[in-house]
Amino acid sequence: MNAQSIAQQLVSTSELAQYFSVDEISIFSHYLKSRDVDANMTLMAEGEPADCLMYLLNGKVRVLADNTQLNTIDIGGFFGESMFSEQGTRTASVQTAEKSVVVQFTLEDYSTFISQNPSLAVKFKNYYIAIKARNDDQTHGLLFRDHKKYLALIAHNEMKNSLADFVKLHVEDIGRFPLVATGTTGMMLYKETGLVLGKKVASGPLGGDQAIGTMVSTDNICGIIFFRDPLSAHPHHADIEALGRLCDVYQIPFATNPGTAEAILKYLRSGDVHVSIANQVLENYRRGQKKVLSSP
């Protein structure tokens, strides 16, 4: 792909046209190199030097850290803006989710750019520094709020294979939702089905069930599929009971076997607006708390 084609793509699909003129983008495009990349290929690896950034001209990529999917990037998006930060190494990996076309801009390209057109090169550098700061604020700022509703996939050790079999049968439906699970369950599901977690929690005995419960209380769970082992004792039994109780409080669908899990998937994938009956117990509790707070 030549520089003119790259420039046309960037003007039509990226945010650059909001901050740079067509001529400036055209000049910048002469320093970019395009390449075709197959699906499931690593474009950037966590821990490697932050020495380039890339734009996605076609396809789709996913951003991962510790094997947990953080985000997806579509056509026109870019990644690797930490190239211009004080951050020496990458804190996340980027992989292609499908066959893609990317253009790459390296530190060497920037050196050439600034030697030939210093004012424009600095303008681009400052733009990427600002984008990096904005993204950091969104991710780490005190006002950050995750509005996603995750489908939780949980299984006791003796039930993990059953969960994997269930997910294989319903991979298309389950893949529609952001997923949350423990790290070990997430890796198993990735190997068996190719599905990647949107969020990862600790294992159940180490607080994973409590973490899912917290997500229930913050309205970040649309349903829970929890294949429990009914014939074994569990050291975190109290956490399991607490998770079920929270699902009752917030009226979250909670499945514990393949039959009820299929019912939940059917309910969630319908896309209909579901009118829930108000939880009178919860409403009464909230009214009671307000009275306590308002009393002298």
Domain ranges of the chain: 3-140, 150-291
Say what the pTM is: 0.51
Q: Kindly report the CATH number that applies to the domain delimited by 150-291.
A: 3.40.50.1380
Q: Are strands 61-65 and 68-73 parallel, antiparallel or unpaired?
A: antiparallel
Q: Return the ∠ at Cα 152 (arms to 147 and 157), rounded to 5°.
A: 155
Q: What is the pLDDT along the chain (296 residues), one digit of tens a residue?
A: 899 999 999 999 998 988 999 999 999 999 999 999 999 999 999 888 888 999 999 999 999 887 778 889 999 999 988 888 766 678 889 999 999 999 999 989 999 999 999 999 999 999 988 888 777 665 554 345 677 899 999 999 899 999 999 999 999 999 999 999 987 788 888 888 888 888 888 888 888 889 999 999 999 999 999 998 887 877 778 888 999 999 999 999 999 999 999 999 999 988 655 556 667 776 776 777 676 666 65
Of 3.40.50.300, 2.40.160.20, 2.60.120.10, 3.20.20.70, the CATH number of 3-140 is 2.60.120.10
Q: What is the pLDDT of residue 83?
A: 85
Nearest partner of 34 among 100, 94, 115, 107, judged by Cα? 100
103 token code pair: 């253009």
CB 68 within 8 A of CB 5: no
> Which residues are marked as active site?
209
Q: Quote the CA–CA distance of 296 and 290 in Å, as a whole number.
A: 12
pLDDT at 142: 39
* Residue 249 CB contacts under 8 Å (≥ 6 apart), including other chains: 279, 281, 282
Q: CA-to-CA distance for 192 and 167, rounded, in angstroms?
A: 9
pLDDT at residue 143, as a whole number: 41
Q: Say if CB 22 and CB 12 are below 8 A apart.
A: no
**pLDDT score for 189:** 87
pLDDT at 141: 46
